Amino acid sequence: MTRAEHVKALLAEYAEQRAQDEREQQQRLEDAVARQPEIGRLRQENADLVLGTMRRMLGEPDLARRKALAEETKARGREINARIRALLAEAGMAGDALELRYRCPVCKDTGYVGEAPARFCECFEMRLRLRQHEDGSMAGVDEQSFERFDANVAPEADGQRDRLVKARNLCQRYADAFPDTEYRNLLLTGEGGLGKTFLLNCIFGRVTGRGFSAVRVTAFRMFEAMRRQHVGNDENYDGFSALIEVPLLLIDDLGTEPMMRNITLEYLFTLLNERIAAKRHTVIATNLTPPQLKERYGERVASRLLDRSICAPVQFKGKDLRSL
């Protein structure tokens, strides 16, 4: 097997581990609600409180009032969380029973750490080395930038190389023009291994290299920010607000994040809608087609992702470059 094949197989194992983590968390939640039904009501109250306060703060021009709203929400959130922990104790369950529990707390069973761009976690690298021991395929990962872009990796057949060059040119124009881009958003779509993540990382590197602020996250890291905001255990956490407010947000692998009730769809809509309203730039890479995006996220979210008035679609087609 090639290194790329090992990585693909191992990422699939990590995805299954995350799914198992989520199934176990969901079972604990169901057990807790069965023993103490008030826990379900309190969790919903907390979710409504956070989203409601966020919307009110974004529309509140007075700084003092925004701070007051934030403090009121934190105080009520602490009360709710304390009550949930008390109910869990009464039910004979641990205080962290409703949290996700990971095999690796560093990467949270994603295999990735860091954001600019993400790199493989040590746990992933160790397991990858074990998988590769027999054939020794330990090729390094080069820095991904426009300067290192090589169109010759794509076959000329069926116009794949020409399409990749056009995609590179469009992405480079976008990065060089930022923030005065023709379209505020880019949506990179196509199957895996066609260069979407490479070009997304190229945009990130060029824009930050020009001195602008940008955040590059995987879809799972995005979900983690949503989940932490939703749970509200850390009163100092502002990761989700940072995703809303950063001038350029780049999301890789949209569609691979967990679909969790009261979190994924609601927070993704809020993220996209608030960024659009504030006229901030967003670049998204996904393996899903537009119809699949509509099916997964529904019309409200898809309309924000696919709005042609502000978003330029970039479609990738052809053979998996990692297998050539």
Residues 60 and 175 in one domain: no
Full-model pTM = 0.57
pLDDT single digits (tens) 159-193:
889 899 999 999 999 999 999 999 999 999 998 88
Strand order in the sheet with 248-254: 214-218, 248-254, 281-286, 185-189, 311-315
Question: In this structure, is residue 130 part of a structural domain?
Answer: no
- Give pLDDT, residue 3: 62
Choosing from 49, 70, 90, the residue where a domain stops is 90
Domain membership of residue 53 (yes or no) is: yes
Q: What percent of the chain has pLDDT over 70?
A: 90
- Residues 168 and 75 occupy one common structural domain: no
Query: Do 182 and 283 share a domain, yes or no?
Result: yes
Structural domain total, the chain:
2
Residue 199: CATH number of its domain: 3.40.50.300
Q: Does 200 fall in a domain?
A: yes
Q: What is the pLDDT of residue 131?
A: 59
Residues 220 and 286 in one domain: yes
Task: Specify the pLDDT at position 192.
Answer: 86
* pLDDT tens for each residue of 10-19: 889 899 988 9
Report how far Cα 102 is from the mean position of its chain's Cα atoms: 18
Residues 175 and 80 in one domain: no
Does 85 lie in the same domain as 9? yes
Whether 131 is covered by a domain: the verdict is no
pLDDT tens digits, residue range 235-244?
656 678 888 9
Distance separating alpha carbons of residues 9 and 103, to the nearest angstrom: 18
The answer to whether residue 169 sits within a structural domain is yes
Rounded mean pLDDT, 29-53: 91
Q: What is the pLDDT of residues 193-219, one digit of tens each?
A: 888 999 998 998 888 888 787 888 889
Q: What is the mean pLDDT of residues 238-260?
A: 88
Phi, psi angle pair for 285, to nearest 5°:
-115, 135
Q: Which of 90, 121, 150 is where one domain is finished?
A: 90
Residues 85 and 176 placed together within one structural domain of the fold = no
Q: Which has the closest alpha carbon to 185: 308, 286, 317?
A: 308
How sure is the predictor about 277, in pLDDT bands with cuts at 50, 70 and 90? very high
Residue 283 near residue 186 (C-beta atoms within 8 A): yes
Domain range for 56 is 3-90
Which of 90, 121, 155 corresponds to the end of one domain?
Answer: 90
Rounded distance between C-alpha atoms, residue 305 and residue 250, angstroms: 13
First-last CA distance in the chain: 13
Per-residue pLDDT tens over the stretch 303-322: 999 999 999 999 998 888 87
Residue 157 within a domain: yes
And the tokens for 298?
Answer: 């529904």
In a domain, 313, yes or no: yes
190 and 315 housed in the same domain: yes
Q: Residues 184, 63: one domain? A: no
Is the domain of 184 the same as that of 307?
A: yes
161 and 278 inside one domain: yes
Do 187 and 258 lie in a common domain? Answer: yes
DSSP SS3 for 196: helix
Q: Is residue 117 part of a domain?
A: no
